Amino acid sequence: MLTNIKEYLLAVIKSRLFVLVLIFIALFGILVNRLFVLQIVNGEQYVNNFNLKIKKERVIPGTRGMIYDRNGNVLAYNELAYSVQIEDKGSYNTKKEKNEKLNPQLAHLIQIVEGHGDNLVDDFPIRLNAYGEMEYRVEGNALKRFLANVYGVSVEKLTKKQLNTDAATAFQTLASEKKYGISTEYDAALALKIMRIRYEMAVNNYQKYISMTVAEDVSSETVAIVLENANELEGVSIEETTIRKYVDSEYFAHIIGYTGKISTEELEELKKENEEYDGNDVIGKSGIEQYMETCLQGKKGSETLFVDSVGKVVETTDHKDAGTGDNIYLTIDMDLQKAVYEILEQKIAGILVSKIRNIKDYKPAPHAKADDIVIPIDDVYFALFNNNIIDIDRMSSETATETEKRVYAIFDNKRNSAVGAVADQLRQSSPQPYEALNEEMKNYMSYVASMLQEDKVMIKGRVDSENPVYQSWKSEKCSLREYLTEAIKQNWMDITKISSEGQYTSADETYEALVQYIEKRLQENKNFYKKLFEYLIEGNQISGQQVCLLLYEQGILAPDEGTMNALRSGSIGGYDFMLNKIKTMEITPAQLALAPCSGSCTVTDVNTGEVRALVTYPSYDNNRLANSVDAEYYSRLLNDLSKPLYNRATQERNAPGSTFKMVSSACGLTEGVISTSDRITDKVKFEAITPSPNCHSSSGHGSINVIQAIEHSCNYFFYETGYRLSLVNGVYTPDTGNAKLTKYAKMFGLGDKSGVEITESKPQIADEYPVVAAIGQSNHSFSCVQLGRYVTTVANSGNCYNLSLLDKRTDADGNLVEDYTPNLYTKVELADSTWSAIHEGMRAVVARTKSLKNNPVAIAGKTGTAQENELRPNHALFVGYAPYENPEIAFAVKITNGYTSANAAEVGGDIVTYYYKLPGYEQLLNGQALSASSESIAD
Closest listed residue to residue 797, CA positions, set 752, 846, 830, 763: 830
Closest listed residue to residue 602, CA positions, set 288, 911, 929, 931: 911
Closest listed residue to residue 769, CA positions, set 738, 736, 731: 738
pLDDT in tens, 218-243: 999 999 999 999 888 988 999 988 99
98-105, Cβ contacts within 8 angstroms, sequence gap of 24 or more? 99/177, 99/180, 99/181, 99/182, 100/181, 102/198, 103/180, 103/181, 103/182, 103/183, 103/194, 103/198, 105/232, 105/233, 105/234
What distance in Å separates the CA atoms of residue 685 and residue 697, rounded to the nearest whole number?
Answer: 10
Angle at 281 between CA 280 and CA 283, to 5 degrees: 145
Return the axis-axis angle of helices 480-489 and 439-454, rounded to nearest 10°: 20
List phi, psi (to 5°) of 445: -65, -40
Residue 747's SS3 state is helix
Can you give the pLDDT at residue 306?
Answer: 84
- Three-state secondary structure readout of 486-549: HHHHCCCECHHHCCCCCCCCCHHHHHHHHHHHHHHHHHHCHHHHHHHHHHHHHCCCCCHHHHHH
Task: Say if residue 266 is exposed, middle or buried (CB neighbours under 10 Å; 0-12, 13-18, 19+).
Answer: buried
Closest listed residue to residue 860, CA positions, set 901, 889, 899: 889
Classify strands 327-330 and 67-68 as parallel, antiparallel or unpaired.
parallel
List phi, psi (to 5°) of 666: -60, -40
pLDDT in tens, 306-326: 877 655 678 888 889 999 999
What distance in Å separates the CA atoms of residue 461 and residue 439, rounded to the nearest whole number?
Answer: 29
Angle at 146 between CA 143 and CA 147, to 5 degrees: 90
- Three-state secondary structure readout of 300-331: CEEEEEEECCCCCEEEEEEEECCCECCEEEEC
What distance in Å separates the CA atoms of residue 903 and residue 893, rounded to the nearest whole number?
Answer: 10
Can you give the pLDDT at residue 142?
Answer: 87
What distance in Å separates the CA atoms of residue 23 and residue 25, rounded to the nearest whole number?
Answer: 6
Can you give the pLDDT at residue 16?
Answer: 52
Angle at 866 between CA 865 and CA 868, to 5 degrees: 150
Average pLDDT across each block of 10 residues of the chain; the chain has 939 residues. List them in order: 49 50 48 40 44 76 96 97 86 87 95 93 87 86 92 93 93 95 95 94 68 90 94 90 96 97 90 90 96 96 79 81 96 98 98 98 87 96 98 94 97 98 96 96 97 94 96 97 96 85 78 96 95 98 98 97 96 97 98 98 98 98 92 91 98 98 98 98 97 94 98 98 98 98 98 98 98 98 98 98 98 97 97 98 97 96 92 96 98 98 98 97 96 91
Closest listed residue to residue 623, CA positions, set 251, 289, 247: 247
Q: Using CA of residue 923, residue 925, residue 926, residue 927, what is the dihedral sign?
A: positive
**DSSP H stretches of helix in 601-655:** 631-639, 648-651
H-helix or E-strand spanning residue 469 = helix 468-474
CA dihedral 751, 755, 758, 764 (to 10 degrees): -10
Task: Answer whether 915's CB lies under 8 Å from 336's CB.
Answer: yes
DSSP at 27: H
H-helix or E-strand spanning residue 616 = strand 611-617
- Three-state secondary structure readout of 192-256: HHHHHHHHHHHHCCCCCCCCEEEECCCCHHHHHHHHHCCCCCCCEEEEEEEEEEECCHHHHHHHH
What distance in Å separates the CA atoms of residue 559 and residue 116, rounded to the nearest whole number?
Answer: 26
Q: Count how many residues are written for the chain.
A: 939
Residue 601's SS3 state is strand
Omega before residue 883 within 30° of 0, cis: yes
Can you give the pLDDT at residue 764?
Answer: 98
What distance in Å separates the CA atoms of residue 135 and residue 684, rounded to the nearest whole number?
Answer: 56
Reported pTM? 0.90
DSSP at 802: -
What distance in Å separates the CA atoms of residue 657 and residue 904, rounded to the nearest whole number?
Answer: 13
Can you give the pLDDT at residue 627?
Answer: 87
What distance in Å separates the CA atoms of residue 599 and residue 590, rounded to the nearest whole number?
Answer: 10
